[in-house]
Structure 1
Amino acid sequence: MRALLLFQQLSRSAARQPLLLSNSCSYRPHLATRALASFAAARPSGGGRARARLSLAARAMASQQQFPPQQQGSQPGKEHAMDPRPEAIIKNYKSANKLKDKVALVTGGDSGIGRAVCLCFALEGATVAFTFVKGHEDKDAAETLQALRDIKSRTGARDPMAVPADLGYEDNCRRVVEEVAGAYGGRIDVLVNNAAEQYERPCITEVTEADLDRVFRTNIFSYFLVTKYTVPHMAEGGSIVNTSSVNAYKGNKTLLDYTATKGAIVAFTRALALQLADKGIRVNGVAPGPIWTPLIPASFGEEKVVQFGSEVPMKRAGQPAEVAPSYVFLASEQDSSYMSGQFLHVNGKSGM
């Protein structure tokens, strides 16, 4: 019990830090480190004795829960309110200029997987613009924008952009694309469709038409419409990466409408890849498993949050830092030039 209390105290302390980086691709809460003003200056905290105490606490914690009880109660979720904070990027991430001089637009890029993708893209030399929901995600967006500016000062990319928008509506999608393309010489080289929301609905009889309209607008209409306006600004060699979910492949009985949208994203990706092949634009996707993002405490009750991720063979949730490199791979011509219509499955399992 003493070890458990120590772990909880340390986790809550880590939650108050501005951004988190992981020491390796294996997430262990007791090794989370703070991100300082410059990502390059970040370093693990604590000495050998502290690490030993943390390791003991983590082992005691592992058999009881994944995360401290928490619930945000509304969407979109807020990363700055999470305990512990998600890990945004691997501390010793090795960049190789894979996206140098590219312009990337990431929807829902203020937090979670979107934030991690933005930071990885920036480290690879890209100029990054991202969307967020004004009035709800302002603090997270400000954190992400500052982190991008810190990286940009080292890579020579152009100034990043944070664009507020509700992407469930066509006019907003058009406006975002025009604003981003207009700021960067009329072109967008990489598009990441990532915005999403989900709600637990135990029975289909509880799903209203208004529920369907809202979830489908955010999760698939936005992908279709942002892409519609982005493609005219893309040249040969462009890349589109769509975020689906493991639920599209295995189903989820309490996330019926969300799962349906994620299945639609898979079909949309494969069909669009065929349509854009002649233009030299590749379209792929990532289907994450349980990843610790603001969507989790914002859509699940405390009991599910505590055990989140424990059902997969790896017995833990993944971190955004562990997913983002797969987006770099799919966006990079040098890495995935012969891939289109495909999905990468980052889900902590041995199969889909």
Structure 2
Amino acid sequence: MSLAETIQHSETGQLADFRSQFLLAHQHMVLARVLEEKLGALYRAGGRIVGGVYLGKGQEAFSAALGIHLQKGKDIYGPLIRDQAGRIAYGEPILDGVRTYLGTVTGPMRGRDGNIHRGRPREGLLAMISHLGSLLSVVAGALFARRLAGKLGDAIGATSIGDGGTSTGAFHEGLNMAAVEKLPIVISLANNQYAYSTPNARQYACESLVDRAAGYGVVGETVDATDLAACVAVFQSAVARARAGGGPQLIVGNMLRLAGHGEHDDASYIPDTARRGPSSRDCLAVAEQRALDEGWLNDADLKDLYLEARRKTDQAIAKVSKEPTPDPFKENWHALSSADLVEGQHEA
């Protein structure tokens, strides 16, 4: 089976073949990396992007590996600021991200909110409220509401959090509720070793963040988040357990953030010893070497993937650059949730 045939096979939802899952996740990782590098360049150029830009460089494998196992429109997904790869894997068009960052009225937030708070709740993609534990409570609540309405079926929820976010009350309350109610939720906990600039040693006293799973009575697993193959395998199992009634699944991915907290941060607080450690491997490079070693890809395939990712990215930037931003003299600044009632022409 050729690369194109393998990826097309995967996109139909037939993800039984591990090779297909790996290649599909890798494809999403490449597009996420290329897109975010372009967004970072636009931010550094000045004037094109208002607000911050937060890159998922180094987290793409952990993010995409979860996203490929979710079903858009059926499952509930609450991604965070570094989950561009997971968003793409779930089915979010890259135009949504570009339009939100550039603040155009054609985007899902219509230029009304910060550039990271985008989503399409009707399609199961929740807008990020905060990276500090809030989405865990929201996804858990959405699953519980569906259960009460008799509409849950075998759908699951998934959300992300960082190591620093696990120190918040929202994380405790959300995970405790999910555990007590045995909700089908998968929580990807990206341990990138620094909560902004605060190291793990100042964040928690347990040996590993996965130890917290036992305290809540939920399943916990740890994975090398620089290894795409390992991430695909662990999320495949976690999603299957959640769908089968196994309750919450806490997956801790160990990695090192390969960029600062945002493009405004030079990450000078990270010591050289950490930068040279095993967690500092670039997950994209590791995935590509594995694919080459297995004979799943060759150099020409990789070149084509990057060329296609750059084409899609440049096309999206060019299109959105011509689209309008909100006109303060014409825009009706009511909440989007009441748009149908107030404006009569836009979807909520």
TM-score of the superposed pair, with normalisation by structure 1:
0.39
TM-score, normalised on structure 2? 0.39
